[in-house]
Amino acid sequence: MTASVPTGSNPLQALATVHQSPWLDFIRRAFVEDGSLAQLVNSGDIRGVTSNPAIFEKAMGEGTEYDPQMRDILAHETLSPGALYERLAVTDIQAAARVLAPVYEQTKGRDGFVSLEVSPYLARDEAGTAHEAARLWADVNAPNLMIKIPATPQSIPAIRQTIAAGINVNVTLIFSLAAYRDVVEAWLSGLEDLKARGGDLSRVASVASFFVSRIDGKIDAAIDRRINAGDKDAQSLRDLRGKVAIANAKMAYATGRTSCRPRAGKRWKMPEHRPSACCGPPPAPRTKPTATSCM
């Protein structure tokens, strides 16, 4: 993502000079209600928010801030645990979207997003994922919402369908270059489908969350096992520790840039498509355990 914020001594704000935008991978009702999120946004420290079921599980399982809404809901209707979770999560996402709305407006829809993930139980269900993405988009009803969809083989077609429906998508759980390429193709094809239907491409934003630290966690553990077993290439293996994930992310970035170059030129001759759609690896790498870029 790109951002336009004043730079100073704050390294988070200085990221704007290299067209990077820090997003916070955290959400909790009290954090939004007490003004903590607004303070970070107003100071320019963060420009977006992401969430996932694990983050919500921790937030809802601790403290009592969700109790009033749960009591109110259950006093009028009987819901499954999953439906109750979703109702609570949508409320938090709507509140975060309102806090980030000024960033979204200032950047003309290029930043200021908050992400809500489809159920992990649908990770291998193409139709179910596409249906839930559309339903959550309608429930939250905020232009700066992104629906998070995992890059499983079964979800790739759902990503295309969701983008084709004019819905902002944050593709998550991308570990390999092969998966990244599939995501890029789904993104481009979804935009083409939307264009063919007469949709407004300038209203659709997408990112791809390419995981970084988890790859090093796996690779470094394998390296250590080989070193401890007396591998003859122990020194070379030591030199690779902590470097594989960054190298993988760089290759993904290069792959994304290529998608926006002459090779794919004909696919970009669409007048309604805004330039930001090709500002970096289409679906991309994000900071922290992941690396994100605009598609």
C-alpha span between 81 and 83 (Å, rounded):
6
C-alpha span between 44 and 55 (Å, rounded):
23
pLDDT averaged per 10 residues, the chain (length 295) = 51 84 95 97 94 95 93 96 96 98 95 97 97 98 98 97 97 94 94 94 92 91 95 94 93 84 56 40 41 50
Give backbone dihedrals phi and psi of 50, rounded to 5 degrees, phi first. -125, 160
Query: In this predicted structure, what is the pLDDT of residue 14?
Result: 85
C-alpha span between 21 and 256 (Å, rounded):
18
C-alpha span between 109 and 169 (Å, rounded):
13
- The structural domains of the chain, ordered by start, are 11-294 (3.20.20.70)
Query: In this predicted structure, what is the pLDDT of residue 260?
Result: 67
Q: What is the pLDDT of residues 136-168, one digit of tens each?
A: 999 999 999 999 999 999 999 999 999 999 999
pTM: 0.85
Query: In this predicted structure, what is the pLDDT of residue 192?
Result: 93
Query: In this predicted structure, what is the pLDDT of residue 269?
Result: 61
> Looking at the annotation, which residues are catalytic?
148
Query: In this predicted structure, what is the pLDDT of residue 96?
Result: 98
Q: What is the pLDDT of residues 231-251, one digit of tens each?
A: 999 999 999 999 999 999 999
Query: In this predicted structure, what is the pLDDT of residue 222?
Result: 95
Task: Report the chain's terminal Cα–Cα distance, integer Å.
Answer: 9
Angle in degrees, 0-180, between the axes of helices 126-140 and 156-164, rounded to the nearest 10: 40
Query: In this predicted structure, what is the pLDDT of residue 45?
Result: 92
Query: In this predicted structure, what is the pLDDT of residue 122?
Result: 97
Average pLDDT, the chain: 87
Query: In this predicted structure, what is the pLDDT of residue 173?
Result: 94
Query: In this predicted structure, what is the pLDDT of residue 167?
Result: 98
